Structure 1
Amino acid sequence: MAGDLILFRYISLEVFKAMGVIALVVLVIATGSRLSAYLGEAAAGKMNSELLGLILFYRLPGLLELIIPVSFFLAIMIAHGRLAVDNELTVLKSMGFGEPRLLKMTLLQGLAIMIVTAILALWLRPLAEIGTQAIKADQKTMTEFDLLIPGRFQTMSQGERVTYVRDIADSNELSDVFITELEQEEGDELGTTVVMVADEGETRIDEQGNRLLILRSGKRYRMKPGALEHQVIEFETYGQVLARDPSKLDRSEVKQLATWDLLKAESNSGVAELQWRLSLVLMVPILVFLAVPLARVNPREGRFARIAPALLLCFLYLVLLSAARSNVESGSLDPALGLFWVHAGFAILALIFYRGGERLFDWSWIKSRASQ
């Protein structure tokens, strides 16, 4: 009993050390990719740059719910592969510590991973989605002028307006404002170009909650392309209501619904979201049953010999789950079948591997069989 506990601690330490390194590397890469995309949106004036850190924080549960199970799978491959290459598994087997006991120990480790994944997928990510939706709701109330960057020409209103402001004070005071926009009426292909320049301006909210743009000491030019005539209006004060950008309005997502609420959901999207959350937890023991036999590497193969096929299997698993989720959402797949057929297929594959089918990845075994 004491020997089993020592072995459990030793193997668990090997697995979780490898898992920590893999998860950290993947998380840094994924976060960096997201940050790059968000910085691009902020630079283009589509997002408030002050919210980047908070948005990334809210995205962490959604990243970790996938990274942790996959990292655990790869960690088993690496840790068990090292034990096999160093002949430690052979020594343990000669002492009566066979693969069934190794599988039980790995499943106990997997139980801890299942609990962590369940907390992330069933509880933390929905809470994070609520926070993300709250930020999006704040963004919806903003107009294009709330996202202006001083000293840059910015395209707005789906390319129909270009705006430049030299400086923006904390009180929303604007300096040296330049605005050009295209006004189009039905049947007018060329449209009318309107240019406004002003020494200063400001944005404010009226009593009805409308956002207003107030320009002072400026001129307004109105002209049609190809025409010689144009209109010039000089003004002391000019005001207009700022419309909210319709491209920022998006549909409500079921991702922010609590798992308990999804249990009562009847819509295809609700069922698909519930099954996806449960799938992330259910895939952990199946990945364990896949990884343990796949890690039976021949010492001559090397500890990383089967990492590539293992990655392909894991990638295929996730792709099929994602495809099944999309089909359930669209109604082209029966929700009763849902994502569970994918788990059933990979569970059968894991059983085949456990009974010796993993030798299909052992090139020395294939060569020996071919030479017979």
Structure 2
Amino acid sequence: MNGVIDFFKNLFSTSEWPARWHCGNWTDFHGWLYIISDLMIWLAYFLIPVIIIRYFLKKKTSIRFQAAYLWFAAFILLCGATHFLDAMMFWIPMYRVNALVRFFTGITSLLTVYYLIKVLPQAFSQKTVIELENEITLRKEAEKQLAEANRNLEAFASIASHDLQEPLRKISAFTSLLNDRNNDKFDEPSKRYGEKIIATSARMQLLIRDILTMSSLKTEIELVPTDLNKPIQKALEDLELTIKEKNAIIHIGPMPVVMGNEHYLSQVFYNLIGNGIKFNQQQAEIHINADVVDGYTWVHVADNGIGMKEENYEKIFESFQRLHGKGEYPGTGLGLSITKKIVELHGGIIKVASIEGEGTMFSMRFKN
């Protein structure tokens, strides 16, 4: 213990030993070769951790194995310090300081080895740069093929929808014509069969239209300042006959300008207003209002329809999901799925709140 106390008490003392120049028979060439070599090693060992630390500070948030980087930098720095002290001891024999630095270098070396053993299996499991480049190339090729497939699918959907809807229109038209011309000849079952053919054709046309709409929705759309009054009015024009037939009342409050796509937004309001009229057992009354909260515009479409249970809030946005039978309310089960997708394409969200038997309110958030 006395030796330890004496060691630290005389840590910087240099009187017990001569300078290294005076230990042995050093020639000038041999001595300066030793000194210059140690200083070059020290300089390299000093610059390496500086480079590592600079890289670490720039990539701190994304770099992996951070502790290993820092321990390795400390190890290299201390190794350089031992070489620097070895060179200085040709003039200043700081043997105690040199021994202490070497001790810390040894501890740091072992800790660095420990962290390397710990992280090397993970490091070796990482993909190489060449593997990542190959993966990126394959992914780009797959995305290119997917884009081409999507274009082909859109073209197919467009052609198929036209080729399917035309025969359905003819089936419906000729069946109506057949019923009208033979109204006095057909018995009641025959008349009902004709009506079922016409109703089924209409449902098929509606389904094809919704599938075409769903397939034609793009993954990205151009958003421009859009006055919400315009897509609402477009939706009301398309629903004009239904509104008159059901004697529905539509209340529209002041509407703001949002970042949107007028064509797609008209589809949103068409679906929500149409649902408010369709899922209703009394005179439909629709309220459309907007307000601004935390820098976002919230648009609310509320009706006095049949409402729904809370457990169905998520279900209604799934494709082909229906809460009621086809005999009760017509539809394809795609309207709200299309609506949600369009709202999300606008970077927004859609929520629903409802009371069974009293009505439903859809709330959509858009960027101003």
TM interval, shorter chain, is: under 0.3
Between structures 1 and 2, the one with greater strand share:
1
TM-score, normalised by the number of residues in structure 1: 0.23
Structure with bigger RCO (C-alpha 8 Å, 6+ apart) = 1
**Higher-Rg member (1/2):** 2
TM-score, normalised by the number of residues in structure 2: 0.23
